[in-house]
Amino acid sequence: MKFIETRGNDGEHPQSVTFSGAILSPMSSFGGLYAPETLPDLGEDFLRNNLASDYKTLARNVLTACAIDIEQAAIDQALNTYDHFDDPADPAPLVQVRDDLYVSELWHGPTRAFKDMALQPFGSILSSLAQQRGENYLILAATSGDTGPAALETFKNRDNVRVACLYPDGGTSDVQRLQMVTEDAPNLKVIGIHGAFDDAQNALKLLLGSPAFKTRLQEKNIHLSAANSVNFGRIIFQLVYHIYSYLELVRQHAIELGEKVYLDVPSGNFGNALGGYYAMKMGLPVEKILIASNQNNVLTHWVNEGVYDLRDSTVTPTTSPAMDILKSSNVERILFDMFGAERTRELMRQLDQQHHYTLTQRETASLQSIFSADYCSDEEGKRYIQQTFENGYLMDPHTATCFKAWETCRDQPLKTIVYSTAEWTKFSPTIANALTGEIDTHDLDALKSIAAQANIAIPPMVEELFHKPIAQKTVINKADIEKEILAFLD
């Protein structure tokens, strides 16, 4: 698999890069991304041959079909990270919740959210590549909650990679904060910022533009990379669970091989949905991909009206904070795949300069042949959590947004795979409130309440967080970030 640029080539970047090239330096010409030039055929023959494959075998076969420039030993080592999931043979269980609604649980990894599905193997691959080349990498991350813990967990104690992670102090849940500040490894630095997520993110942008910072990185021979979902090294692992969930439906005798299904995805930066899109283009029998959003419903308008509009929109904080995103990075890869580099560059330039773009009627129709979309308010989400719990299934507020799309976006009675992106433990105050009306300010109270009502235990890796020593104590003003990170590099 070769990778080409979503906004075309500027004459300075190479015309195409390999997989390792795309993951080590993910930004391409004109501020664009890398996307695959061609896709392998993973249609019926591939599916039939993998009916009996376990998750790791399937993943190995998908990566082999993609023909990436990573040694088999490094791939196998990366896939062994799934051995740390609850059930290594079935890291992403598929659970029937209603007649035709099946939930693919993507949160059985170490940090209890779906970011582990891709970041766990990605961390291993990036570190292997860095070691092979004798290079050192710095990953900088600003997080409002889920990417930070998953990035720290995957890179902890790995050679040739360091991670500095900024979070807004007071702006994450207790569990999310504890997952970060209890991580104790010499290659990790976690920094709380007095301020909101935007302050953390802006501070990071300032740092990236600072000449003193650049000079110091050069002196120390440290390269910068990214662990967010603009990095294709994450996307490739997100193909796998869509295919796996489909094969699970066949194995559970819910469908015949070849029968079409809906994929119903709670979307933020569109990495999850993009994985589904590529799987569909490679031959997975998908009727449509349903894009579920919260009140930050830019994607709903994009699919339904062909308009991407960021004018006078500000982020609304919701109970599904991992989806509180307006500028969804991976949409660009869809534009590129459907409409080509020239058009993508034009549309992305309009978005940067005028903060909106409008697709033609024809383009909108193409988009709608693949996607349908709807959004779910916090109140609606709360009702889905409560009703679904009464029917015997406990879910988090991100997963709940999919139930709205399941009700409104399907025009055929086909089986639907809903992707569950977080365990109940990660957003417990919202769930406890939906179940009983209680208002908890601390996660621990909410966790205990839910555990008692659902008659389940708090998982050990969550329970332990409340007793672990705090290893990362830095909480500073954003003006002091550069000094702090430079000291970490020394």
Ligand X SMILES: *Cc1c(COP(=O)(O)O)cnc(C)c1O
Residues forming the site for ligand X (CB under 6 A):
113-115, 146, 229, 266-272, 322-323, 398, 421-422
Task: Quote the CA–CA distance of 239 and 278 in Å, as a whole number.
Answer: 7
Closer of 270 and 389 to ligand X (Cβ): 270
Min separation Cβ 398 and ligand X, Å: 4
Closer of 127 and 269 to ligand X (Cβ): 269
Closer of 207 and 432 to ligand X (Cβ): 432
Closer of 114 and 371 to ligand X (Cβ): 114
Look at residue 153 and give its three-state secondary structure: helix
Q: What radius of gyration do the chain's Cα atoms show? A: 21
Closer of 146 and 264 to ligand X (Cβ): 146
Min separation Cβ 227 and ligand X, Å: 12
Min separation Cβ 270 and ligand X, Å: 5
Closer of 351 and 481 to ligand X (Cβ): 351
| DSSP one-letter string for 189-257 | EEEEESS-HHHHHHHHHHHHH-HHHHHHHHHTTEEEE--STTSHHHHHHHHHHHHHHHHHHHHTTSS-T
DSSP strand pairing (261-266 vs 416-420): parallel
| DSSP one-letter string for 237-256 | HHHHHHHHHHHHHHHTTSS-
Closer of 47 and 276 to ligand X (Cβ): 276
Look at residue 357 and give its three-state secondary structure: strand
Min separation Cβ 274 and ligand X, Å: 8
Rounded to 10°, the helix 232-251/115-133 angle is 130
Q: Which residue has the tokens 């959003």?
A: 293
Residue type, 299: L
Question: For residue 423, with 0-12 CB atoms within 10 Å meaning exposed, 13-18 middle and 19 or more buried, which class applies?
Answer: buried
Min separation Cβ 251 and ligand X, Å: 26
Min separation Cβ 95 and ligand X, Å: 17
Closer of 128 and 388 to ligand X (Cβ): 388
Taken in order 404, 410, 412, 416, the sign of the CA dihedral is: negative
CB burial of 236-260 (b: ≥16 within 10 Å; e: otherwise) equals: bbbbbbbbbbbbbbbeeebbeeeee
Min separation Cβ 425 and ligand X, Å: 12
Min separation Cβ 434 and ligand X, Å: 16
